[in-house]
A = this chain, B = another copy of it.
């Protein structure tokens, strides 16, 4: 599949955009006219730069408001087109995008339109270039891709074809099956964009909220399947207007974009395999017959098999001063399993929940900017503060999973290892969290824990034996239930695609919860069997460090690891007896809980006494509590009763308010 991207997707100057596209590995680009008009590069400069970078210049766009006008206006439009065709010749480009008329169309007559399009095609032919006509979803008279295609067929000129844009088609909920019947020679160009399903006017939706494939809710694999079946072999090019991407680091966004096409290519191949029969009965031009392995003219590359992780292998917290974390974990009932034999890291376990405390300095270099004056967090973050730094996932083949991540352009993270130590395959998530792929074992154990427990370091905690300890009593069945990570605002969509494509985590409908510093957008990502639950939180802006170059974010928003146990009341009681610093839940909360759920008075008293939170829905019940925060990390213990599948979202505002209040009290008293 030939990959492309429109320059309007990206931030920066035309030169910066082109360079980033080349680095990200695109085959070609669409030149958005404004990017050229505002550039000091001459058309000849652009042509040379593209050649030097190995980029083809696939589409000049957009040309607007041409057809369905009276003869006077048409004359001016042809003059304007002539200037652009001459410009294209200087650029060495052969295809121009023509959008259906939105602004100046006054005559609704397909015959007239065909005649006007024919004149434009003739003029294009004189210049040796082609015109790809696209129905905008809000075109005045032409807003349906089949209508645009009928006009192209009626004109029947070699220099006029159609451009199919997934946004304009799927935003209107149009069936994409008829594409299969299109003559592939008349499909001059294909643009793809995904989008969240929003209820708003389609123009605003299109101009601000498009995202890259895999970051929204459109069925793009099916769209592409039909395009491939039609016999189209040209570029598949991203045209994504997104307010955030236009503000983000151009090179990172280009990589995110490229990842989305690599993923879409795989998904399209899968769709074709899963849907062997043409959807429409008589698909002229499409291959006939049925066969899952039938080949189409467009070659779709494959990726290493996706590895849906079975669960979390470990969570790693990095901290300069580890005392606070050690205290919390031991009070929660975690056993200290010793230091690593070669690295300055500790292992703590409860059942199959493993927490690694990493005392090595952070790899990223922006620690010096942490602790800036963020309201509500002043003095709370420093280079030595604790932060979630890595997650290990159990996969059946770490090598296959790592190869896949690599092909998806996930930046590799080297993990120093010595002889006889397990080598983790690792890569960096968009928020800088390191993701490691581990060999899971069916019984939930991990071989690498044997690397811990060497003597010589001594050790804190209540075990301190230097031997692996699976935890005892209430914690024996403990596992990591979910991990909650704050995402930088520029990289939220990128993170969704990253976890979707690399680890087969499926985004669920998102929730918004109130906090004293604004709404928090909470995006749950799940494996199908719920073995991995990852929650991506888009924190309010003031809780994020402001200006940043797109790499090495430090977050002031609090993140956490949640552990599931079988008996939360027993776990909480034991933790209380060990002196755990629970997040203190307001009395008002329990009164409201009683008003809502009419709980048994004894049970309510237990909840109140232990600072437990509670939720209930049709599927089951959820009990949980939070610890105090160390650095920017806290822990949660949960118990799921019945088939409860949520995270206690109604309780999230309580947590946010208490944490905020606590930070503010510290700030005021300091």
Contacts and interface: CB of A to CB of B under 8 A. Distances in A.
Interface of A: 11-13, 16, 33-34, 36-43, 76, 79-80, 83-84, 87, 198-201, 204, 208, 243, 246-247, 249, 369, 372-375, 489, 514, 516-519, 540-542, 544-549, 584, 586-589, 591-592, 594-596, 598, 653-654, 656-658, 660-661, 664
A191 to B, nearest CB: 19
Contact of A519 (B34, B246, B594): B246
Contacts of A514: 34, 246
A519 B38 contact: no
A39 B201 CA distance: 39
B375 A547 contact: yes
Given A11-B517, A516-B12, A664-B13, A587 B243 contact: no
A421 to B, nearest CB: 38
B80 A595 contact: yes
Contacts of A661: 13, 40
A657 B38 contact: yes
B594 A83 contact: yes
A587 B90 CA distance: 14
In order of increasing CB-CB distance, the 5 nearest A-B pairs are A546-B546, A38-B657, A83-B595, A199-B201, A247-B518
A83 B542 CA distance: 36
A76 B616 CA distance: 15
Nearest to A512: B207
A78 to B, nearest CB: 11
B654 A37 contact: yes
A512 B596 CA distance: 46
A245 to B, nearest CB: 9
Nearest to A202: B199
Nearest to A515: B246
A586 B37 contact: yes
A79 B37 contact: no
A538 to B, nearest CB: 11
B11 A586 contact: no
Nearest to A200: B200
A588 B246 contact: no
A623 to B, nearest CB: 18
Contacts of A596: 80
26 contacts: A12-B660, A13-B516, A13-B657, A16-B516, A34-B514, A36-B588, A37-B586, A37-B589, A37-B653, A38-B589, A42-B587, A42-B588, A43-B588, A80-B595, A80-B596, A84-B595, A87-B595, A199-B201, A246-B514, A247-B517, A247-B518, A369-B373, A373-B547, A489-B541, A542-B547, A546-B547
Nearest to A586: B40
Select the residue from A79, A208, A516, A545 with max chain B CB neighbours within 10 A.
A516
A39 B588 contact: yes
Contact of A546 (B33, B39, B541): B541
Nearest to A540: B247
B588 A653 contact: no
A541 B657 CA distance: 26
Nearest to A518: B247
A592 B518 contact: no
B246 A518 contact: yes
Contacts of A33: 592
A588 B37 contact: yes
Contacts of A204: 198-200
B547 A372 contact: yes
Contacts of A37: 586, 588-589, 592, 653-654
Contacts of A660: 12-13
A638 B195 CA distance: 41
Contacts of A87: 591, 595
Contacts of A369: 373
A540 B244 CA distance: 9
Contacts of A201: 199-200
Nearest to A374: B547
B547 A545 contact: yes
Nearest to A657: B38
Contacts of A243: 518-519
Given A42-B587, A372-B547, 19 more contacts: A34-B653, A37-B588, A37-B589, A37-B653, A38-B654, A40-B658, A42-B588, A43-B588, A83-B591, A87-B595, A199-B204, A200-B204, A246-B517, A246-B518, A246-B519, A247-B518, A247-B542, A541-B546, A546-B547
Select the residue from A16, A33, A76, A514 with max chain B CB neighbours within 10 A.
A514
Contact of A653 (B38, B247, B656): B38
Contacts of A653: 34, 37-38
A517 B17 CA distance: 12
A544 to B, nearest CB: 7
A448 B637 CA distance: 70
Contacts of A199: 200-201, 204
Contacts of A519: 208, 243, 246
Nearest to A201: B199
Nearest to A244: B518
Nearest to A550: B375
A588 B584 CA distance: 64
B373 A518 contact: no
A40 B544 CA distance: 26
Given A11-B517, A243-B518, A247-B541, A38 B373 contact: no
A123 to B, nearest CB: 14
A554 B657 CA distance: 30
Contact of A549 (B16, B375, B654, B658): B375
Contacts of A249: 375
A522 to B, nearest CB: 15
A544 B587 CA distance: 41
